[in-house]
Every structure is written in structure tokens, then in C-alpha cells.
Structure 1
Amino acid sequence: MSKMTPQCKMTSHTFLSDVPCAFFCLWLFCLIGLFAPATAQQTVIKPGQMWLDTKGEHINAHGGGILFHERTYYWYGEHKVGGAPGNKAQVGVHVYSSKDLYNWTDEGIALEVSSNPDSDIAKGCVLERPKVIFNAKTKKFVMWFHLELKGRGYSSARSGIAVADNVTGPFTFVRSIRPNAGHWPQNVTPEEKDPKSIARTKAEKEKFSGGPSDKHKQFNILGSHMEGGQMARDMTLFVDDDGKAYHLYSSEHNSTLHISLLTDDYLDHAGSYVRVFPFRWMEAPAICKHEGRYYLIASGCTGWSPNAARSAVADNIFGPWEELENPCMGVNPQNQLGPEKTFGGQSTFILPVEGKPGAFIAMFDIWRPKDPITGTYVWLPIQFEGDRFKIEWMDEWDLSVFLHR
């Protein structure tokens, strides 16, 4: 009898019992390769560097925010298209998921822009800074974002609202609005209710810039928008310990920040809001709550160019707010930019780390308007010191930094 090819040891229950070992090992290797992730598991965060998802592609979720739901983090952000300069939405809102904050899985497009040219979110509109919160009463996921109608530049200054039954969507667009139409803020002054100053401001026909100028102080922009609703551009959402949700947005041609309570279903403004930091030109707001106090990060208004970060603290979300110093420290070696330019980035969200009380991550975007898809992300741990906090540059870091605080 001729010598037989050596066989692998198999049970009588496997169809591979007579397959040569070499062939079986090759088959197993190919099978493992087929289902293996495209990139190695990441164990650190590297601020400012290209951040690859589990398929090996740069994460496409700019100006985003994060929701923690059922033991998983979900990162929602603006989907950018390569080679398309500017900020016109061509696709919609992208969403990624992660269990550990290092490795992110592409979950697809959560909200698509519309092919209907009459839709408020028609392809080519401006759709910025999407944020998603979960309503425990309605069991709905609610998305808000800054919206500029197609073809109108930045004159619309609206808030878009969408809802979904599932955390990754698809989200259904509900409507867009200007906040708090017909309502005065809690801290309104008699001068802001003056009909003559309102009429005088309306006669200007919105001839104001979206950046710092002395003209804004000479007119009653708040009063001129009371009936139709206040302007809303850069924004974020915040859910407090009692389940109440708030919308923070840059208003009055970006000159003043508004903080507004939402209705119980999170789908509208409740008509209760305040003006804060008047004529301080605060945009890109991000907020968190630590040991009973509210902390804010924001930026100045310099278009796509970075500027020095702002910070503030309050005992009540409606204020009064105390403005603090620039919280940033250190230099980003990739572009040699330090605190005076916020490492080259701009704030977008403050992320509480689940299961680690007092652990928060400041999220920033490095914008690249000529090719927005190449924009990168700067995530850095927040360090609290009394009623202040600081954000120190790190070339790379992991969540263990919070164990030593």
C-alpha cells in the first residue's frame, strides 16, 4: 500500500475529516482574513492625526457630537465630500459606533439630505454641528443642527430637527425653525422691547455682518427678531440630570449666545431662554456639568481660521455666567499652534466618559475648508482645578489618564 497523505485529527462530525492539513490551514487563514478588521485595534487617541475607522478609512464626522446609549458611544457629524470646497452638504449626517472611544465602526448615514429642491435640507444646503439626544419618555432619538437654506448663504440662521426610532437612524427630518418666536428672554431689558428701536433695526434689513463689529451694539437685533424667531447658528445640545434638555446657539448675527429650554419631547423650544455673553461673539459652544456646576467652552468668530478658546462657569445653566481664561495649554507640534489658536482647532462638544465620574473629553475640529473631508479631530482630556479647568496638549493619550485624578 502506498504511503497516505497525513490527515488532520477531526471528529466524525466534521465534513473536513478527510481534508489535508495544509489545505485546511490555508482555508482557515483565508476565512480569518476575510472577517478580520481592516486596521489593527487602536489603544490610544492621537489628537490632530488622521483617525481611521475599523475599515481603514478616515472618520467622516465633522463638527460632531456623541451620544452614549446602551453601552455604546455614537458619534454623529457632518459628512464631507473629497474635493468639494466650502461647507455645502452633499450627503448628510454620518454616524459611527464604539465601545471604547478608540475604535469606531461606520454605521452609515444617519440623516440624508434631500433630492427634493424644495426641501429645507435639499442637497447643497448648509447642515452643521449635528447633535443627538435620547428622550427617555418618548423613546425617540432627536437630532438638532444648524441649517442654512440652499442658495441663501448664511442668512437663514435656522435650527433643523429630525427624529428616529433607532440610534443609527434613519432620521426623518421634521422641520426647521428659528428659536423662540414670539417669546422674550428671561433677562430682556425695557430697551429691547422698545418699538422704536425695533422699527429702526428692521429698517436696516439685516445689513449686519456675522463677525465682530461695533454696529451691532447700536441696534436692537433681539427685538427685531422676536416675532419671527431668533437667529441660530453654531449650536450644541445638553441634557441635565433632571432630564430637561437645552439648546445653546450663537444668535443675533453671532454677537450673543442664547441658552434655551426645550419642550419635554425635545422637538421644540419651550419659550424659556436667556441671552448670555452679549456682544462677546461666542460661537462653537460646548457644555458639561461637573460637581453641580456648568462649564462652557466656546470660540470667537474668525470664520474658518482658529482663534483662542473661551471658557466660562455657572451655578445655574441660565446663569449668571462667569467668563474664565483660555483653558488651553501647550503646542500642537503638527502645526506649531498653541493656546492662542486652540491647537489649530475649534470646539464642538464635551464628552462625559461613561463610568468615570469627573472624566470629560474636549472635542475640537481642525477645519480644512479647501478640502473639508481631510479635516482632523483633536480630543483632549479636561483637567478640573477648583472652579477652573485646563486642556493640555498631548501627542497621544488613553483613558488611564483619568485614573490619576
Structure 2
Amino acid sequence: MRTILTLATLLTCLSGNIKAGNNIRPGALWPDNRGIHINAHGGGILKRGKTFYWFGEHKADTTSAAMVGVTCYSSTDLANWTYRSVALSVSNEKDNDIERGCIIERPKVVYNAKTRRYVMWFHLELKGRGYAAARYGVAVANKPEGPYQYLYSSRSCPGIWPQDWAGSLDSTTYNAGRQIKWWTPEWRELIRKGLFVQRDYAQGQMARDQTVYVDDDGKAYHIFSSEDNLTLHIAELTDDYLHHTGRYWRMAPSGQNEAPTLFKYKGVYWMITSGCTGWAPNKARMFFAKRIQGPWTQVDNPCRGPKSDLTFGGQGTYILQIGTPKDPHFVFMADIWRPKQPSDARYIWLPITFEDGKPVIQWTDQWSIKP
């Protein structure tokens, strides 16, 4: 029998005993406790106890470079947010990795129960180098709101091949591939076979748009766009969540995906990504797998409603799990980028429902949320 969890059903589940102030209005200005539009873009959510912490990029009015750092807000109802602090501040020191004017994107914070520390991962580009560095950065704190101590930045797994590696291209094929015209079918096939993995083997793999996922067993994974944003990598983290273990897998080789978001429902991993069109929106992609390492299978665009072929004008950043472990619900979080005035970028939060076992994101102008 076809099983459908409709949007109306989910909103009924979420709206019991909700105050009038718990409404979410996707795409609208979202003021914090000070009446200022929340400035936490490309963000993610951490829950500790009954409190949710929202971390994101602080955007200036005229530039997307990091002039302040990563901000933190807190809430107990997910609708009304209190500004807490700049969780990770940029540095005024010249040539510091996180020097003011660098690029810090998509910060995600996870809690490590063994070390009792909060660990922040983010995409980092060095000041004045555009997107050439393609690094991840790591910072830690003793409290969820910080302050976070910056530790280091790196490319991923230098000198290590992926776990699902089929073997190096021979020197003749590799050298010819380096000269071949980009975007041709032949070039894409060489990317799929690992042309750019081989290119970046010694210096480490590129790490751009990213998220971090902690599985049910406590094992954590770093998921990021690599190979010039042509292939996603899924890298296993050490027990303290501070480093890659050296084990990583490729996902959708040559598929050109970024903005990875991940959740797990009834034993199935679901990943929603975007294409690569700069600041302009595009159609969301969705994949599923029985193991986080893959293999992953692509299915339909999960979005429904106005501008569904453009992810409602936004780009995903995180999938928030709410409810209880026995009865989980999920919220798709996305950003409507405004590169001419970055600080005015808006947020799209929408509930995820299921039809025929597949996630669906239905546009709604307003809905009520319950943690």
C-alpha cells in the first residue's frame, strides 16, 4: 500500500501547543531578539539539552568575505532566536589562515561525547586567493556558543587514495587527460575515473562546500565538494572529530554537486545537493544509500511548488532533525543568496515529508514548528 505523510499531516504533528510566535515564514526577514535580521548564513544547528544553537557565516553589507567570523544564536523553540556571540572570530594577524578578508563558508558544529568538546568544521579560502586554496578548517570550544579556538586548515588526505579507488590512470592516459578539452564527454569520463584525484594526490584533495554528519554509532563524517566541485567526497573522522582518518569515498563522480545536506530515516541515508551555478539557484538533486559510504543512487528533485526547479530560489545548507528518535521529523534549511548585499540573504526552512518512501519538500508561505 502506498504510504503518504502529507504536509498537512506533518504540520498538524508539529503545531500542537504552539504559540502564535512559532511561525516560520520562508524567505522573509527573520529578526533576532534585538530586532536585527539573523546573520548566520550557510549554517547548521546543534542541539544540547533543550537548546538549539544556530551557527553560520556573518555576512557584511558589501562583501561575502569573512570580515567578522562565525556567529552563534540560540533558541528553545526554533522560531525565536537570541544572539549569543561571534563564536569564531577572524584574525587581525596578517597571513593568518583566518585573516580578516578570508572566505569562511558553511560552518557546522558537532559535540564529541568522548572529549566533551565542541568541534567546528568549515570551508576555508585564504585571503586574496579566491577559491584556489580549497581547504577545510577546524576549531574547538568548551561551550557550544564558544569562543572557538582555531586549530588548523588543510586539504583532504594528501598521499592517500580513496577507499573505492579503481587504480591510477596510466601515465599516457593521465597526461593526455590533462590536455583534453574540459566539459567534453571524454573529459567527464576521465574525471569519473579519477583524473583530478590523481592530480591532487600529493597536495591533498580539494575541500569546498561541506557538512558534517554524526551517525547513530557516534562515528562522524565530513562530506564536501572536491575535484573542482565535480565530485563529492565522504571522509571518515577520527574519534575526537578533529581529523580525517584517511578513509574516504567518492560520490557521484563528475556529477558536479555542491551544498551537500544529509539525514537518515528508517535506515536509509538521504543526501540533497545542488548543482554548481555560482550564487544563482538551480534544481536540487537527491540521492539515497543503504551505507553512508555508498553506493549512492540519484532520484527525483524533492522540491514541490513555486520555483521548485530552482529550489525555491535558494540553496540547501543543512537538514535539521526534530521530534523524538522514535518519531523523527526533518527540516530542510536553505539560503537565498543576495551577492549584491550579502547581509540581506534570506532563509528557507521547510518541513520534509515522505511520499512512496521518498522525501518531499513542499513550499508553504508559513508554517508552525515544534522542536
Partner of 1:366: 336
Separation (CA, whole Å) in 1 of partners of 2:219 and 2:156? 17
Which of residues 135, 139, 146 in structure 1 aligns to 2:116?
Answer: 139
Alignment partners' CA distance in 2, 1:229 and 1:197: 21
Residues 195 and 161 from structure 1, CA distance in 2 versus in 1: closer, same or farther, beyond 3 angstroms? farther
| 1:198 to partner: Cα distance | 4.9
Task: Provide closer, same or farther for how the CA distance between residues 72 and 217 of structure 1 changes in structure 2, counting only shifts above 3 A.
Answer: same
Query: Which residue in 1 is equivalent to 2:294?
Result: 319
Instruction: Tell me what 2:158 maps to.
Output: 181
Amino acid in the other structure paired with 1:175: Y
1:225 to 152, 177, 200: 200
Task: Give me the whole-angstrom Cα distance separating, in 2, the residues matched to 1:72 and 1:196.
Answer: 57
Is it true that 1:353 corresponds to 2:328 in the alignment? no
SS for the counterpart of 2:367 is: coil
Mapping for residues 4-403 of structure 1, pairs under 5 Å: 42-82=21-61, 84-85=62-63, 87-190=64-167, 192-198=168-174, 215=187, 217-218=189-190, 220-331=195-306, 338-355=307-324, 357-399=327-369
Q: In the aligned structure 1, how far is the partner of 2:176 from the partner of 2:218?
A: 41
Deviations along 1:299-349, one digit per CA (max 9) or x if unpaired, are 000000000001111110011111011000011xxxxxx111111000000
Contact kept in structure 2, 1:382 and 1:391, CA below 8 Å: yes
- Rounded to whole Å, the distance in 2 between the matches of 1:236 and 1:187 is 21
Q: CA deviation at 1:194?
A: 3.5
1:315 and 1:151 map into 2 onto residues whose CA distance is 41
Deviation of residue 399 (structure 1)? 2.6
Worse-superposed segment, 387-396 or 350-359: 350-359
The residue identity in structure 2 corresponding to 1:182 is: G
Gaps of 5+ in 1: 1-39, 332-337
| Counterpart AA for 1:149 | L
Q: Counterparts of 1:60 and 1:183 in 2: how far apart (Å)?
A: 38
What is the rounded CA distance, in whole Å, between the counterparts of 1:323 and 1:285 in structure 2? 13
Cα displacement string for residues 265-319 of structure 1 (whole angstroms, at most 9, x for unaligned residues): 1111011111110111110000001111101110000000000001111110011
Unaligned runs of 5+ in 2: 1-18
Cα distance 1:208–1:104, how it changes in 2: closer, same or farther (>3 A)? farther
Q: Assess if the C-alpha contact under 8 Å between 1:233 and 1:249 holds in 2.
A: yes
Distance 1:240 1:213 in 2: 38
Distance 2:170 2:164 in 1: 15
Counterpart CA distance in 2 for 1:354 and 1:159 is 31
Q: Compute the displacement of 1:75 (Å).
A: 0.3
For residues 200 and 170 of structure 1, the distance between their equivalents in structure 2, rounded to whole angstroms, comes to 49
TM-score (norm 1): 0.82
Q: Deviations over 1:232-275 (max 9, x none)?
A: 11000000000000000000000001111101111110111111
Name the residue aligned to 2:14: none
Measured in 2, the distance between the counterparts of 1:56 and 1:355 equals 31
What is the letter of the counterpart of residue 355 of structure 1?
T
Contact 1:115 1:122 in 2 (8 A): yes
Q: Percent identity?
A: 49
The structure, 1 or 2, with the larger RCO (C-alpha pairs under 8 Å, 6+ apart) is: 2
Normalization by structure 2: what TM-score?
Answer: 0.90
**Alignment root-mean-square deviation, CA:** 2.0
- Given residue 302 of structure 1, which amino acid in structure 2 is its aligned partner? T
The alpha-carbon distance between structure 1 residues 117 and 213, as it changes in their structure 2 partners (threshold 3 A), is farther
Count of aligned pairs between the two proteins: 348
Contact 1:284–1:347 (Cα < 8 Å) also in 2: yes
Other structure's SS at 1:42 match: helix
Residues in 2 aligned to 1:366 and 1:133: alpha-carbon distance in whole angstroms: 24
Counterpart residue identity of residue 51, structure 1: W
Deviation sequence 1:201-244 (CA, Å, 0-9, x none): 6x66xx998xx665454461101111211001100000000000
- Quote the Cα distance in structure 2 between the aligned partners of 1:143 and 1:386: 36
Q: Secondary structure at the match of 1:301?
A: coil
Distance 1:272 1:367, change over 3 A: same
Determine the C-alpha separation between the residues in 2 that align with 1:41 and 1:53.
16
